[in-house]
Amino acid sequence: EVVLTQSPGTLSLSPGERATLSCRASQSVSNSNLVWYQQKPGQAPRLLIYGASNRATGIPDRFTGSGSGTDFTLTISRLESEDFAVYYCQQYGISAWTFGQGTKVEFK
Amino acid sequence: QVQLQESGPGLVKPSQTLSLTCTVSGGSISSAGYYWSWIRQPAGKGPEWIGRIYNSGSANYNPSLKSRVTISVDTSRNQFSLRLTSVTAADTAVYFCAGDNWVKAAFDIWGRGTMVTVAS
């Protein structure tokens, strides 16, 4: 099973600042199978990025996904108030989808 | 716009079977391009994929749960279902149903989730 490790666990930032979230895989992941979600309390995850770098429908361009192999990054260029949430990366491996443990972006 | 809604008991006793149903509305479960998955999330933790099914009935399961999980589909009712046997407190979680988009290789449709507690 591919293990995804996200860092940092918590990111304390202010609106307007840049957020850089990391997702590291225990073995190489196909770019086409790396996904990012945003989750707010009491809600289901929301698809942000698929195929490592493709924004989902309706996702603003301040969200950018990048990376390849075992290292992937989600960048939020200028945080807005609605961006404070938990972010998960996910991959599809040989036999199962696996998720990271999440990075919480909180108000500083 | 396709929507998903989970339903089922919120409390299950240890050693018993957890059963949930997901109803698909606003579209057909038989539409090409989607697998239909169950995902769970314990409080304060990341999601865990349980398994998925295609409208043909072909299913795949997370190896860590495979021995206890069955996912089935009822195309006439536009529903798919989850059965998880021999539950313990470790199975307490919010359970989501989700649409797994083939093209995007991502879950782009989610139900709101339903909390299931395993306790006596």
Contact B46 A47 (CB under 8 A): no
Q: Which residue has the tokens 């396709």?
A: B2
Q: pLDDT tens track of chain A, all 108 residues?
A: 899 999 999 999 999 999 999 999 999 998 889 999 999 999 999 999 999 999 999 999 999 999 999 999 999 999 999 999 999 999 987 778 999 999 999 999
The two counts, helices (H) then strands (E), for chain A are 0, 10
Which residue among B47, B101, B105 places its CB closest to the CB of A45?
Answer: B47
DSSP string for residues in B54-111: -TTS-EEE-TTTGGGEEEEEETTTTEEEEEE-S--GGG-EEEEEEEEETTTTEEEEE-
pLDDT at residue number A103: 98
Q: How far is B48 from chain A (nearest CA, A)?
A: 7
Give residues with Cβ within 8 angstroms of B56, minimum separation 6. none
**Tens digits of residue pLDDT in B17-62:** 999 999 999 999 998 889 999 999 999 999 999 999 998 899 999 9
Cα(A61)–Cα(A81) distance, integer angstroms: 16
